[in-house]
Amino acid sequence: MVFSYADVRAAVPTVSRHLPPTPMWSYPVLNAAVGATVHVKHENTQPVGAFKARGALNLLASSPGRGTVTYSTGNHAQSMAWASHLFDTPCTVVMPAGANPGKVAAVRAWGATVVLTGDVLADAEAHAVELARETGQLLVSPGDTPQLPAGVGTLYVEVLTAHPDLDAIVVPVGSGTGAAAAAVVVEALAPRCEVIAVQSSASPAAHDSWRSGSPCTRPNRTRVEGLATGRGYDLPQQILRKHLTDFVLVSDARITEAQRLLATSAHTLAEGAGAAALAALLEFPDRFAGREVAVICTGGNASPAELAELAVP
């Protein structure tokens, strides 16, 4: 069930057929604020506003036809809906009842069926398992499906092709597939580059799973959607245990500060998860001082509540 760098290489032509490389820019005002040379990888410019488009595209390209059932707080849902639309395949997404209305509308607009149920992702997961059993459609776990991180790995091929001598890449984590993809590609292309994962201290399941050496469950209280998971996932954890340099935690308040900084100094509207990597640089400035660092702006789908909070200093 794991994936390798060979799977990422195999995904490159599939992904590049439908998605051009995303821009990666460095901004002097941002660099001055952080005290490091920061390269912002703009996955917020994907057609669904998040990096997960790459993984869904790779999955649907390799297993089209019978239709999928999945569960998500938002960006995985949009990505599955978008890729299913591209391959003309039915897609059902189960989301928590309180999901970001903008993300729900976007999923529906790509033609997927949305089922809203329960308070948290675990409720949506249970319902999706049931639906897949009833319909015979493929159940897609956002955390444990190897084609997803294999597709996401193409992002890190782009990063290291543009800047082969980076000192570190900082990646926000929910389930950990994005960080696992980074770790696999960095190991193959730039083994001296550090890969540093970041999670919200209000939802530390992946962080605590990595520190303790086995997947565990934890309170899930962050307001940052893409990072809101209550358990560690086996597949990414297996890879992170071998290849990750370090895993840090930041507060939700620090993430909001990083969102503001991206808005004012990098012309970028990031959702909270998309600003979490930069938040790690703000939280641990000494660790990154004077170094060459890529931060992955993983998404730009800020909710109305997040947008309102950004406007209040």
Ligand X SMILES: *Cc1c(COP(=O)(O)O)cnc(C)c1O
Binding site for ligand X (CB under 6 A): 50, 52, 75, 172-179, 226, 271, 273-274, 298-299
> For residues 91 and 206, which CB has a smaller minimum distance to ligand X in the complex?
206
Q: How many angstroms separate the CA atoms of 222 and 219, rounded?
A: 9
CB of 42 to ligand X, least distance (A): 12
Tell me the residue ranges of DSSP E strands in 101-185: 113-116, 138-140, 168-172
CB of 297 to ligand X, least distance (A): 8
> For residues 252 and 271, which CB has a smaller minimum distance to ligand X in the complex?
271
CB of 24 to ligand X, least distance (A): 16
- How many other C-beta atoms can be found within 10 angstroms of the C-beta atom of residue 247? 22
CB of 65 to ligand X, least distance (A): 25
> For residues 146 and 274, which CB has a smaller minimum distance to ligand X in the complex?
274
The three-class DSSP label of residue 23 is coil
Q: Which position's Cβ is nearest ligand X?
A: 299
> For residues 135 and 249, which CB has a smaller minimum distance to ligand X in the complex?
249
Q: How many angstroms separate the CA atoms of 129 and 141, rounded?
A: 9
Q: Residue 173 in contact with residue 143, Cβ under 8 Å?
A: no
**Single-letter amino acid code for the residue at 100:** N
User: CA 294, 300, 302: angle at the middle one, nearest 5?
Assistant: 130
CB of 143 to ligand X, least distance (A): 7
Q: Decide the pairing of beta strands 68-71 and 91-95.
A: parallel
- In sequence order, the 6+-apart residues with CB closer than 8 A to the CB of 204 are 218, 249
Residue 250's H or E segment, with its range, is strand 246-250
> For residues 66 and 157, which CB has a smaller minimum distance to ligand X in the complex?
157
> For residues 220 and 298, which CB has a smaller minimum distance to ligand X in the complex?
298
CB of 78 to ligand X, least distance (A): 9
